[in-house]
Amino acid sequence: MVTGCGLRSPAVRHALYVAPFAELSDPKRMVELAEAAEAGGWDGLFLWDHVHRDPAEARDIADVWTMLAAIAMRTEHLRLGPMVTPLSRRRISTLVRQTVTLDHLSGGRLTMGMGLGVDSGGELTRFGEVVDARSRAAVLDESAEALVAAWTGERVDHRGEHVTVDGVTFSPTPVQRPRIPLWAAARQGALRPVRRAARYDGLFIIDVDVGQLGRAVDEVVGARGTVDGFDIAVRSSPIDDPALLEVEGVTWAMHSFPPVFPAAELTAIAMRGPQPD
């Protein structure tokens, strides 16, 4: 399949994609942003998931799950979620409980983003986390498999090299059916992460040009047979080609801002809503 560019589909949805750093590490400011985004007609608000960064970039960093819970309580329509959580630094038992609880709290609005994570500022090395990329990928794959199994409400028996769930049934189950949407991250021209995403519900891809994105879409179609019912989210920012949003199959524009961005200015942008080109 050759994926061409045509008119932008009216089905493309628009989300703010921000870091809970600096001024936005204040939950009250983040909630104000979420309320403004909902009033402005945005479709989603997704947060970076980090526990440490280079202090030159950001010192004040909030917990993404607490922030998402606050957002869920003060909004009614926005989709929300971490974008993305490195599963190699999460305990699967805790993650199952957090995702299901947040799905209930939001009334079924959670989208779960997952990825390998990065070691920016020593986010992995400083805490003794897995650093090797192949090992992190293996943990990610096992964790995703166990997470999806846990969401079914059936007994989970998973004994892998990295993840163990020994005969546990998790209850309650998510509000969303058949499950909480699970998106996997990819960047540039790498196709292995795209194939991972194709096993689940969506792809969040960054640092790509139109040709690389087209090949990623083709890879999804090759694995699934279609992109129907599958989300493809691309970053939209001053460093990204606007033509990415024209690629057939794209369903989400993730409007990205620098990790330290004036909260008042971002709230004003949220209030104006997604702007036409």
Q: Per-domain residue ranges for the chain?
A: 13-270
Report pLDDT for 277: 56
How far apart, in Å, are the Cα atoms of 13 and each of 43, 44, 148, 230, 256? 6, 8, 25, 13, 14
Secondary structure class of 158 (helix, strand, coil): strand
Structure token digits, residue 135:
């090992």
CB-based burial label for 62 (10 Å; 0-12, 13-18, 19+):
buried
This prediction's pTM: 0.94
Hey, which residues does 183 pair with through a beta bridge?
113, 202
Local confidence pLDDT in tens for the 277 residues of the chain: 223 333 334 589 999 999 999 999 999 999 999 999 999 999 999 999 999 999 988 999 999 999 999 999 999 999 999 999 999 999 999 999 999 999 999 999 999 999 999 998 999 999 999 999 999 999 999 999 999 999 999 999 999 999 999 999 999 999 999 999 999 999 999 999 999 999 999 999 999 999 999 999 999 999 999 999 999 999 999 999 999 999 999 999 999 999 989 999 999 999 999 986 5
Closest CA to 271 of 72, 25, 38: 38
Report pLDDT for 275: 83
Q: Tell me the CB-side half-sphere exposure of residue 259, using CA atoms within 13 A.
A: 16
CB-based burial label for 126 (10 Å; 0-12, 13-18, 19+):
exposed
Closest CA to 199 of 209, 188, 186: 186
Considering the segment(s) 13-270 as one domain, its CATH architecture is Alpha-Beta Barrel (3.20)
Report pLDDT for 11: 83
Report pLDDT for 10: 53
Q: Tell me the CB-side half-sphere exposure of residue 89, using CA atoms within 13 A.
A: 23
CB atoms within 10 A of CB 25: 18
Report pLDDT for 4: 32
Report pLDDT for 196: 98
Phi–psi pair at 13, nearest 5 degrees:
-105, 160
